[in-house]
Structure formats: C-alpha cells, structure tokens
Chains A and B, each alone.
Chain A
Amino acid sequence: MPTISPGIIAVLLAVTLVPASAAAQGPSAERGKSVFDAGGCLACHTDLKNKGEPLAGGPPLKTPFGTFYAPNISPDRTHGIGGWTDVQFVRAMREGVGPDGRHYYPVFPYTSYTKATEQDLRDLKAYIMTLAPVAKPSRPHDVGFPFSIRLTLLPWKWLNFTPGEWKPDPSKDAVWNRGAYLTEALTHCGECHTPRNLMGGIDRKRWMSGSADGPDGEKVPNITPDASGIGKWSVKDIEGLLSDGGNPDGDYVGGSMGEVVAHSSSKLSAADRNAIAVYFKSLPALPSAVPKKK
C-alpha cells in the first residue's frame, strides 16, 4: 500500500486551491444582486410610484440646483447601458464620467460608489445585465443655467470629489470594517443624512448629523449617537429599523427612508445590517445639523 506523505497532500491541496482563491474571481450576477440592493439603485432609476419598468428611468429628484431624472440603465443597447463595457461601467461608478466623456452631476451618488471594490462593481454590472432591457428614452434633466452646462461641474468635482476605493482601517475589527465599507461605498446613508457645504459637497466634519435639504427638500434626522440623534438606540434597535422600518417606539419610518428600507436595507443579510449598526454606534456624537422649527 503506497503511502502519501503530508508534503504531497499539501502540494495537491495548493494546486487545487489556487484557482479559486488567489486569482481574481470572474463577475458573479448572484453576488451583484446584493451589491445592487445595498446600493439602492432601483429606487432612483425606477419610477416605482407609477409602476415603471425596473431601471427604465426614475422619478423627479428635486434639488436646489434643479430637477434631475435618473436615466434608463436597463440592459437596452440604445437607451440603457447594454452596450457598455465593464471598464466603461466601472469608470462611470468610480470617476463619475460617462463613456462619451461627460461628467455626471453628483445627484448620482458616484461620490460614494467610487469607494466600492472593483470586484463589487463588476458583479453589480453582471447582475444588471440579467434584467430585462427596456427600450425607453431617458428623460432630460430640468436644470437651469448655469448648472445646465456640465462644464460647471468641473470645479465642483475638483473641490468635492476624491475618486478611489475605500481603505479598511486595520485598527478596527472585521465587522466594523464591513459596516464602514457598506455605509461609505454602497448604502450612501451619508448622501441624505449629512449636511452639505455651500458648494453642495458632503460636509465630512458633520458626518451623519442630519440635513435640512434631503430628497424633495425633506428634513433628514441626525443619526449619530447624540441625544439629538439616536443616542438611546441599541445596536439591535438600529438593526430592527434597517430590517423593517420600525423604530424602538413603534413608529414606522416613511418618505425616502421608507424606500431605503423597502428596496435596500431590508434586503441586506442580517450580518451586514449588524455591521452597519456597529459602525453607526461607533461614530462621534454630534449635535443635530437640522435647524429646529419654531
């Protein structure tokens, strides 16, 4: 009976294991679905209120700069992104630049998505390509001068946008890092919950402390662990809100947060919701940036 030395087993194992682990994985539509849900793409790019087809173009997004319409990003080759290469898609998400070289308005939160990993972005595109193409032209934005001129974006981008993948913090544990990655790169909680500076950029010094001009001019609450925020909430309370929209008092969120819960956070894994909650509990407590009504 021939004996196999442990050394040979190790070699055999190494050979069989290498392709799966070391090499970059090919895009996976299955993983991409969870990136898509976390990123909340559906709510902006679909006219859910009027039962529009998925990703065929979204409802009006009112901002102080004008009204924007998220375009058709279904896999249609003419009206959607069906003809885009992976590289073009990654560039749009990471650099805010379209295949024709135009600069996107930051209503499209590429300022967050820029932090997503290359793998997540490729998986995301693979998933979008499995959806039904919709041959429907995108609606033009309704934006006044000077913002109608995309070139006015260039100084904005230069001052307010740093492209690049998110870097984990080695001094924190894996759960915190997962929560921070999801929050910074995909779930874009900060796009609504953080006040903006005069230039319309996110004010990092007041991260998550609330905003007086959220979607449709709605007020968005402080969600730092301050008394004016969610200081009394436990990790479990935050997880609960993300899973079904219920706050610890029995009220249920509505407005744009209701949509975030329905189309994004309720679809995350329980582990990812836990990671986000752990990350939020670790944030510095800041006073609310939303002025109180008289």
Chain B
Amino acid sequence: MRKGVFGAVIAAAAIAIAVPAVAQSPNDTIAARVAKMKELGAASGAITAYVRENKGTPADMVKAGETMQGLALQIPTWFPKGTGDGDPGVTKNRAKMDIWAKFDDFSKAATALRAEADAFVAAARSGDREKITAAAATLGPKGCGGCHTPFRAPQS
C-alpha cells in the first residue's frame, strides 16, 4: 500500500520532469510563467534602481544580469500553445495571440534579450558605472520592451 503510493509519486515526478509544460494545466502554466516574469522584473528593478538612483553595486548588477542570462532562452518554453489570452477555458492573461502566429519573432525577441544580458554582464564585470549604465540603456527597452511591445497586452 505504502509502496504503491510512493511508486505513483515517483512516476508522477518523472512525468513532470520529462514534460513540464504538458503536465501542467494551461492556468498553472500561466501562473508559473508570470512568477518567472516577476523574477525578470525583480532583476530589472535592481538595474533600474542602480541606473536612476545609484543604489546597489556592480556585483549586484552582475547577479541581476546573470538571472536574465539564465532565463532569457527559456521564455519561449513558458508559452505552450493554448495558453494565450483568448484561448478557450484560459484565465485572463496578457499573452497576445500573435505570439503563436509569429512564434519565430517571439523566439527571436528572447534571443535578443539573451544578447543584451550577455553584454550587460560583461559591462557589470568591468565595475565601471558608465559602461554599466550604457549597457542598461539598451537592455531594458530592447531586451524586455522589444518583446512586450508586440506581444504583451496592457494590464487590465
């Protein structure tokens, strides 16, 4: 009896590891990706505070940039088909249906964020505030805004 439950748990875990997106309901996927976006938002918030208010250190900037490096190329996997704002049975969210009409462009926007994050981390490692500010000036608008402008609907 006990063994049976345990086995089932292991089997479930194995499935979850193999096909994370499919194992989740669309609404769980949306909740999970919003949490991931918030991680990006927190990293980006640290950078904004450094640039605009001189808060934090270059080491903090390396960390924030690395968070983005780690997540950027994963973004397209957070958007399986059937999880858009307008898909049947899906909670209100901000993912425009255009994401799936132009999935190549969407993926390119994620790659663009990765390139921006790479450049930002290099600048942050130099420790030079001017270089960091210059890299941040394109990181946000191109890396994040470059995808939010075509693919994310405003908050409602």
- Write the residues of chain A forming the contact surface with B, with a CB cutoff of 8 angstroms: 49, 214, 218-221, 236-237, 240, 244-246, 248-255, 257-259, 261-262, 266, 290, 293
Contact = CB atoms under 8 A, between A and B. Distances in A.
A76 to B, nearest CB: 28
Given A245-B141, A248-B45, A262-B149, 19 more contacts: A221-B155, A236-B52, A240-B52, A244-B141, A245-B145, A246-B44, A249-B41, A250-B42, A250-B43, A251-B45, A252-B44, A252-B144, A253-B145, A253-B148, A254-B149, A254-B150, A261-B145, A262-B145, A290-B156
A197 to B, nearest CB: 21
A91 B152 CA distance: 37
Interface in B112-156: 137, 140-141, 144-145, 147-156
Contact of A218 (B48, B145, B149, B153): B153
> Which among A49, A244, A252, A293 has the greatest number of chain B C-beta atoms within 10 A?
A252
A249 B152 CA distance: 17
Nearest to A266: B141
A252 B148 contact: yes
Interface string B83-107: 0000000001000000000000000
A233 B43 CA distance: 20
Interface of B is mostly: helix
A250 B150 CA distance: 19
A97 B65 CA distance: 52
Size class of B's contact patch?
20 to 34
Contacts of B42: 250
B47 interface: yes
Given A240-B52, A246-B44, A250-B43, A255 B148 contact: yes
Contacts of A248: 45, 48
Interface of B: 41-48, 52, 92, 137, 140-141, 144-145, 147-156
Contacts of A214: 154
A20 B53 CA distance: 42
Given A240-B52, A258-B148, A261-B145, A251 B154 contact: no
B155 A219 contact: yes
B44 A293 contact: no
The 3 A-B residue pairs with the shortest CB-CB distance in the complex, in nearest-first order: A254-B148, A250-B45, A258-B149
Contacts of A246: 44, 48, 140-141, 144-145
A273 to B, nearest CB: 13
Contacts of A249: 41, 45, 48
Contact of A258 (B48, B145, B155): B145
A205 B154 CA distance: 24
A244 B140 contact: yes
Given A245-B140, A246-B140, A262-B141, A255 B154 contact: yes
Contact of A293 (B41, B147, B156): B156
Contact of B152 (A240, A254, A259): A254
A49 B98 CA distance: 12
B52 A252 contact: no
Contacts of A253: 145, 148-149
> Which of B141, B153, B154 has its CB near the most chain A CB atoms (within 10 A)?
B154
Contacts of B44: 246, 250-252
Contacts of A252: 44, 140-141, 144-145, 148
A248 B52 CA distance: 9
Contact of B48 (A250, A255, A266): A250
A256 to B, nearest CB: 8
B151 A293 contact: no
Most buried by B among A221, A248, A253: A253
B60 to A, nearest CB: 13
